[in-house]
Structure 1
Amino acid sequence: MRFEPRRHTSDDERILPLINVVFLLLIFFMLAGTLSAMDPFEITPPRSASSGEDNPRDIVVLVGADGRLALDGTPVAEADFEAALAAQLTESEGARVRLKADGHADATHVVALMERLRAAGVTRVLLLTIRDEA
């Protein structure tokens, strides 16, 4: 009779595959959990009966209730807005501008911003709203 020498395995060798699987699951859920970017400040758009479609090439301008501005998710100072918008427009030829204003934002501020967009060369502005189901 021939006996093979028995190999002694340590606890570390048995738990290593489990650690690898848990680590891969952790990475998967970290990546899957960041599918959409958050706005830099809270916006509650007004309600409307119309609906529209999103285009990933569009430039998004956010207007907060307190008048803060953000361009494609990055907060922008009021004085630097035109320069940042001009840079975005040169990068994205033919892109539309989607204006996402808070429902409590001052209407005169939003209209003045739309005039600034027109002066910067924007030909089409889409005002984003929440679809009213009623």
Structure 2
Amino acid sequence: MRRLSNRRTSRTEPTLPLINVVFLMLIFFLVAAQVARPLPSEVTLVRTDDPNVVPPPDALVLMQDGSLMWRGEVTTVEAFVTTTTADTSAPTDALRILPDARVPAQALVALAREIAVAGGGTHVRVMTERALR
């Protein structure tokens, strides 16, 4: 004779933890996509093969016509330096420039010199786009 057990054994997998993980991943990717500001569509970045170059969302963008954009707004060197030295959330170790690929090298060097003279710091980094091969 067989004895029936009063215990119920569940053969289904718990779905609630899986749903929680998927929901948390969805929230993470939604937030991560909103953190970085997109570059203006008319900017073409200089290309390089360095895999360690990741453009920060806080860099000064040098447009082809010589105008400057920072955090999505048109700015000047003086306003940029004043804001970054007063802003505690901006990186203070080095200022980053994202130049358009069509900007002459002389204009880029002149901008870096102008930032240094205005008191924007001693380190200026030029950010480029990684080339895909």
TM, length-normalised to structure 2: 0.60
Tell me how far 1:126 sits from its aligned partner. Answer: 1.4
Gaps of 5+ in 1: 1-27
Deviations 1:97-134 (A, max 9, x none): 11000010122111110001111231211111112244
- Structure 1 distance, partners of 2:108, 2:85, is 20
Q: Is the 2:99–2:127 contact (alpha carbons within 8 Å) kept by the matching residues of 1?
A: yes
1:71-118 deviation per Cα after TM superposition (whole angstroms, max 9, x unaligned): 232111xxx431332222222372421100001012211111000111
Identity percentage of aligned residues = 23
Quote the residue 1:23 is aligned against.
Answer: none
Residue of structure 1 in register with 2:85 after alignment: 89
1:38-89 deviation per Cα after TM superposition (whole angstroms, max 9, x unaligned): 2345211111232435596x8411011121211232111xxx4313322222
Between Structure 1 and Structure 2, how many residues are aligned? 102
Give the match for residue 48 of structure 1. 48
Contact 2:66 2:103 in 1 (8 A): yes
For 1:67, what is the secondary structure of its paired residue? Answer: coil
Per the alignment, residue 39 of structure 2 pairs with 39
CA contact 1:98–1:125 (8 Å) conserved in 2: yes
Equivalent residues of 1:96, 1:126 under 8 A apart: yes
Distance 1:104 1:96, change over 3 A: same
Corresponding position of 1:74: 73
Unaligned runs of 5+ in 2: 1-25
- Cα 1:46–1:53 change in 2 (3 A) is closer
Moved over 3 A (4+): 51-56
